[in-house]
Amino acid sequence: MGNPLFQQAKEAVAKAKEEKTERAIAVAKNALSSAFANANDAERRQLHDLQDELDTL
C-alpha cells in the first residue's frame, strides 16, 4: 500500500497545473507539505519535482 498523502499531493499538483488558480495552488502546496512528513526518499525526490512544477505557476 502506498502513501495516500503522496498520491493526494500528486493529484493536487495536477489539478493546480490545470486550473492555475490561487486556491488550487494553495491546496497543492498544503498537500505537498503534508506528504513530505511521511514520504520515503524516493517520494521526497518526486515531491521536490512537483514543488518545482508548482513554483512555475
% of the chain residues with pLDDT over 70: 98
Q: How does residue 1 score in pLDDT terms, banded at 50, 70 and 90?
A: low
pLDDT at 6 over 70: yes
Segment 40-52 shows an average pLDDT of: 97
Contacts of 56 (CB under 8 A, 6+ apart): none
Quote the distance between the C-alpha of residue 49 and its chain's center.
9
Distance CA 46, CA 53 (A): 11
pLDDT at res. 39: 94
What are 12-29's pLDDT values in tens digits?
A: 999 999 999 999 999 999
Please identify which residue in the block is written with the cell numbers 508548482.
Answer: 54
pLDDT averaged over every residue in the chain:
95
